[in-house]
Structure 1
Amino acid sequence: MNDSRVQASTQKLLELLEELGAYTASGPGVTRLLYTKEWRQAQIFLQQKMVGFGLKVTTDKVGNVYGRLCGRSPEEMVILTGSHIDTVVNGGKYDGAYGIAAAMVALQDLQMNYGQPKRTLEVVSFCEEEGSRFPIAYWGSGHVTERYDGSEAATCKDADGISLQAAMEEFSFLQGVTEGNGARNDIGAFVELHIEQGIILEKTDTQIGVVQGIVGQRRYMVKVSGAANHAGTTPMLMRQDALASAVEMLYVLEGAAKLAGEPLVATSGKLEVHPNTPNVIPGEVLFTLDIRHIEEDDLECFCAKLFSRYYEITAERGVTLEVTPVLHTLPAPMDTKLSTALENICRQQGKTYRTMVSGAGHDAQLFAPRCPTAMIFVPSRSGISHSPEEYTSPKQLAAGLEVLTAMLYELAY
């Protein structure tokens, strides 16, 4: 595109991101959790914008929103692009939203400049990816790819005890045509544009990351149960201290992860202590585990050894352990042909690029086993994401938009 077109498209993109960022709960950054008022308002806003962009809008039963640019050959498989609308608590305005806004602008630009595509193009705003409100992630893309069938909604509850089913029914907004239970078998390729959420592109002064694969991920909820008792009258050698046991387990986690070395990473980001009183020995502790690696066998081996050591600790300390798997995603290689096409586009456009692995999970990893899938990264300032400080410059956002638009042109025109 010429400079004036690039500037106009960039301005549309920036305006969309600003407008989307306004749909947030109170507090710093952007908080837009699944099936909340702010989430619903944002999805309705996108529906209206998609109509204004000349797209045919549909939704499915879980609240995924689609904007379709119909192709001349309806028998051909659909080219899908987009990302997720939900955020973490006090997150940024680019994570997920950038991929949706850029896809909308790209489809409008392609239609204006080249007319009707040969293959149908479709932008999607997935209802959820983060797992921030309910202990389940990829609720949106998981329905499209048949990871979920909907039965999970009845028993899955948030911190306030509200079931996923109840929340979904309360904030349902199914406008327009509803497409069954959400599962799709007509998708021929999926392309996701996203901020890197890391520091590699910025540190290497690179405009575009061509993702080769997304790490596998295991998430667990771990409950350590001991005996709550008086802090002053219970001798140290007679205690069943759930917190002291959990602390030892987390120390073991860090040491084991460092010993395993890159690319494995392991994190515990949430800890709940009961009864959480200064003069009472903790009787129960809940903590989360998030463990990632690009190789499934290495990930499996690490988790098995870790939990073996955890059970040794419980035996030594006289406490009990309950481990609940929350998420298990396999490492997801991207399609080599699509990745090569992205590299060629970067060279044609004179953009610097590098191939890389994504340490963060994305909707793209659910599509990778089902259809050719590609992922494009743009830099994140200081590598910061999931924070109000999340930022990518307009120039960097525009570069990603140009690459995405060229990729969709090759696939659909």
Structure 2
Amino acid sequence: MDNIFRKAIEDTLPWLSTFGADPSGGITRLLYSPQWLETQQQFRQRMADDGLETRFDAVGNLFARLPGTRYPDEVILSGSHIDSVVNGGNLDGQFGALAAWLAIRWLKETYGPPLRSLEMVAMAEEEGSRFPHVFWGSKNIMGEANPADVRDISDAQGIGFVEAMHACGFTLPVAALPARKDIKAFVELHIEQGRVLETHQQAIGVVHAIVGQRRYTVTLSGESNHAGSTPMSYRRDTVHAFSRICSESVAKARAEGDPLVLTFGKVEPQPNTVNVVPGKTLFTIDCRHTDALALQQFTERLEVDMRQICQQENVDIDIDLWMDEAPVPMDAALVAQLTTLCKSENLNYRVMHSGAGHDAQIFAPHVPTCMIFIPSIGGISHNPAERTHMTDLAEGVKTLALMLYQLAYKEL
């Protein structure tokens, strides 16, 4: 079976990766771009040639359906997003969509029609790389998208979201699309985008939760002054205050331990010149954890500690918590079923959490959802160097196919 999926991947992944191929390497396939549209159209044609029923929804999500014989109105859905970051790799997102197609094609050829309908989805967008909006594809499927949120936004070239949408033949809905009620389960295959599986030399990750995230923009205000004539004791140095905040916070995060992670990803000191004490510094904080209470408690302690440090350094502080996303657990029954499957097939697996966000987190509050991870070489993603060994790619498609078989071909 592994050889069958390996050959299928070798025949299709290079083909799919030609659409939106970046001249400098990797893929640039942004929402409602010509490259995005060509990908969806070509993908649709290939799946139609396989005898699947294909369609676009109102916003450009692509579906390919294998109708069920006994419960046609009960859908087992699998797939991922088809868009990419700028100059990204050829696995993030699109391999999950490709894997769903290959798995359904194999099931059709091997077992014929399922009891429940099987659908593959290549979701229009997840990354937010072109427009300042994320999960546009999955949010529309689950009734969470608000057209007003995108009506007046534009990309970096000033092209409006609605304009780009129209150019691809789609029209912004007047109101939010209703959530689909026919989906009985959603299974997403994705590369890990980390090094846990590779480090432990394991091929499959059974995801039990997607981390919650809290993101901050923090502004420190002190006083810009002459670097030579301002004594150390007189200074209101915001970079020094930031350095204390960063160092002490990271130490606290390390003491807290896994699965908590903390990142200071952006720092902008002003005036940012060699001979002036920096009177203003803006920085960001990204903190993630699988437990909502632990995330809240840790970040609230950080806020208190930051204010104390700034008081000691005679620096003012403004803390803007602009993202507060709760962790999203996967469906316990599906996680148990997938774990049992991995055991019965003697797969080298581990149960783990996802430190990155995925479309599965939009589905999970509405329908039973689970995720399958496969390793990322070196943990590299969002990069043309993004790679996964072919044996692991094939193992992932096989695991997905066996899971879809249980959900669609067996009485529940």
TM over 0.5: yes
The change in CA–CA distance for 1:79 and 1:173 in structure 2 (over 3 A counts) is farther
Whether 2:135 is the aligned partner of 1:138: answer: yes
Contact 1:84 1:127 in 2 (8 A): yes
- Per-residue CA deviations over 1:59-83 (Å, capped at 9, x if unaligned) read 3454332222333356633211111
CA distance in 2, matches of 1:82, 1:239: 56
- Per-residue CA deviations over 1:22-49 (Å, capped at 9, x if unaligned) read 5144544334344445444433443333
User: Unaligned stretches of 5+ in structure 1?
Assistant: none
- Per-residue CA deviations over 1:125-152 (Å, capped at 9, x if unaligned) read 2233334455543333233334442332
CA distance in 2, matches of 1:279, 1:34: 44
- Per-residue CA deviations over 1:188-247 (Å, capped at 9, x if unaligned) read 110011112222322333222222222222223333344555555655555544444333
Partner of 2:373: 377
Contact 2:165 2:171 in 1 (8 A): no
Which of 120, 125, 146 is matched with 2:122 structurally?
125
Summarize the alignment of residues 143-182 of structure 1 with structure 2, pairs less than 5 Å apart: 143-154=140-151, 160=156, 162=158, 166-172=160-166, 175=169, 181-182=176-177
Q: Quick one: which amino acid aligns to residue 334 of structure 1? A: M
Q: Quick one: which amino acid aligns to residue 286 of structure 2? A: D
Q: Quick one: which amino acid aligns to residue 373 of structure 2? A: F
Summarize the alignment of residues 316-335 of structure 1 with structure 2, pairs less than 5 Å apart: 316-335=312-331
Q: Classify the secondary structure of the residue corresponding to 1:88.
A: coil
The change in CA–CA distance for 1:53 and 1:358 in structure 2 (over 3 A counts) is same
Partner of 1:220: 216
Q: Quick one: which amino acid aligns to residue 405 of structure 2? A: Y
Which of 82, 85, 92 is matched with 1:85 structurally?
82
CA distance in 2, matches of 1:130, 1:328: 18
The change in CA–CA distance for 1:99 and 1:173 in structure 2 (over 3 A counts) is farther
Q: Classify the secondary structure of the residue corresponding to 1:72.
A: coil
The change in CA–CA distance for 1:82 and 1:316 in structure 2 (over 3 A counts) is same
CA distance in 1, matches of 2:45, 2:276: 55
Contact 1:60 1:178 in 2 (8 A): no
CA distance in 2, matches of 1:250, 1:154: 38
Partner of 1:12: 11
1:301 is displaced (CA, Å) by 0.5
Partner of 1:106: 103
Q: Quick one: which amino acid aligns to residue 253 of structure 1? A: S
The change in CA–CA distance for 1:8 and 1:43 in structure 2 (over 3 A counts) is same
Contact 1:136 1:327 in 2 (8 A): no
Q: Classify the secondary structure of the residue corresponding to 1:385.
A: coil
Partner of 2:50: 53
Which of 191, 197, 204 is matched with 1:201 structurally?
197
Whether 2:351 is the aligned partner of 1:352: answer: no
CA distance in 2, matches of 1:108, 1:326: 43
Contact 1:54 1:108 in 2 (8 A): no
User: Unaligned stretches of 5+ in structure 2?
Assistant: none
Partner of 2:248: 252
Whether 2:180 is the aligned partner of 1:184: answer: yes
Q: Classify the secondary structure of the residue corresponding to 1:77.
A: strand
Q: Quick one: which amino acid aligns to residue 142 of structure 2? A: T
Partner of 1:405: 401
Contact 1:81 1:122 in 2 (8 A): yes
Q: Quick one: which amino acid aligns to residue 339 of structure 1? A: V
Contact 1:215 1:295 in 2 (8 A): yes
- Per-residue CA deviations over 1:339-361 (Å, capped at 9, x if unaligned) read 23323333443422222222222
TM-score, normalization by structure 2: 0.85
Contact 1:61 1:181 in 2 (8 A): no
Contact 2:219 2:283 in 1 (8 A): yes
CA distance in 2, matches of 1:295, 1:360: 14
Partner of 2:26: 29
Contact 2:37 2:168 in 1 (8 A): no
Q: Classify the secondary structure of the residue corresponding to 1:291.
A: strand
Contact 1:240 1:317 in 2 (8 A): yes
The change in CA–CA distance for 1:135 and 1:46 in structure 2 (over 3 A counts) is same
Structure 1 stretch displaced more, 359-368 or 94-103:
359-368
CA distance in 2, matches of 1:177, 1:121: 27
Contact 2:68 2:116 in 1 (8 A): yes
Contact 1:214 1:361 in 2 (8 A): yes
- Per-residue CA deviations over 1:371-409 (Å, capped at 9, x if unaligned) read 111111112223333333221111111111111111112
Which of 201, 211, 215 is matched with 2:207 structurally?
211
- Per-residue CA deviations over 1:80-125 (Å, capped at 9, x if unaligned) read 1111223334432211121111111112222233333222222222
The change in CA–CA distance for 1:177 and 1:327 in structure 2 (over 3 A counts) is same
Contact 2:133 2:150 in 1 (8 A): no
1:298 is displaced (CA, Å) by 0.3
Whether 2:309 is the aligned partner of 1:310: answer: no
Contact 1:9 1:109 in 2 (8 A): no
Partner of 2:266: 270
The change in CA–CA distance for 1:142 and 1:199 in structure 2 (over 3 A counts) is same
Q: For this pair of structures, how many residues does the alignment match?
A: 407
CA distance in 1, matches of 2:172, 2:217: 35
Structure 1 stretch displaced more, 121-130 or 138-147:
138-147
The change in CA–CA distance for 1:339 and 1:116 in structure 2 (over 3 A counts) is same
Structure 1 stretch displaced more, 316-325 or 345-354:
316-325
Whether 2:296 is the aligned partner of 1:296: answer: no
Partner of 1:66: 63
